[in-house]
Amino acid sequence: MSAMEELLERHGTVGRQAAASRAEGLPARPALHTVVVTCMDARIDVYRLFGLAPGEVHVLRNAGGVVTDDVVRSLAISQRKLDTRDVLIVQHAGCGLSTFTDDEFAAELVERTGSRPDWRCHTFADPAESVREGMALLRRNPFLVPGMRVRGFVLDLAGFGLAEVDGDGSATAVA
């Protein structure tokens, strides 16, 4: 059985009922008025990491947890239509996006497909620096709500500790 078939089977047996009971009666607006932007890494369970329940936050995930045009699009909708005001950017140490460069990946795609992508991977060498850049991009974006609060963190996957990234790019452990 393929992984997709297994997931569909799980949905049919317990998944649909469990999801429906957890989402029943919840409004579309996140109760904590917060958005978490993080990496798609399957080891990161945002709900357990922050002790969240369904309906409390929006979670935006992509490769690296980087601030891209699509993240800004989703944040603008979340803020302007669903009243979120706080943004947490959470990238992690040892991210796969630090193992290659945008140019290397584009060259690989050209070699394998004959075409160059019209998008970037947004690779980075230092997750703290990437988080700092993402926070700066959000703070100066004209489409996002003035006065939003943005904080950034680097997650250590070994112990799941968070280090907060200051505007200058330095990181401080969070208790």
Per-residue model confidence (pLDDT) at position 168: 58
Per-residue model confidence (pLDDT) at position 25: 78
Pick the more confident residue, 12 or 67.
Answer: 67
In the predicted model, is pLDDT for residue 22 greater than 90? no
Give me the CATH number covering residue 109. 3.40.1050.10
In the predicted model, is pLDDT for residue 95 greater than 60? yes
In the predicted model, is pLDDT for residue 7 greater than 90? no
In the predicted model, is pLDDT for residue 122 greater than 80? yes
Whether residue 121 contacts residue 65, with contact meaning beta carbons closer than 8 Å, is answered with no
Report which secondary-structure segment, H or E, holds 37. Answer: strand 34-39
Domain presence at residue 20: no
Question: At what angle are helices 127-139 and 69-82 packed, to 10 degrees?
Answer: 50
Closest of 68, 21, 54, 60 to residue 37, by C-alpha: 60
Give the chain's domain count.
1
In the predicted model, is pLDDT for residue 83 greater than 80? yes
Per-residue model confidence (pLDDT) at position 73: 98
d(CA 150, CA 46): 17
**Domain span including residue 38:** 27-173
Pick the more confident residue, 129 or 175.
Answer: 129
Per-residue model confidence (pLDDT) at position 169: 53
Radius of gyration of the chain (CA): 18
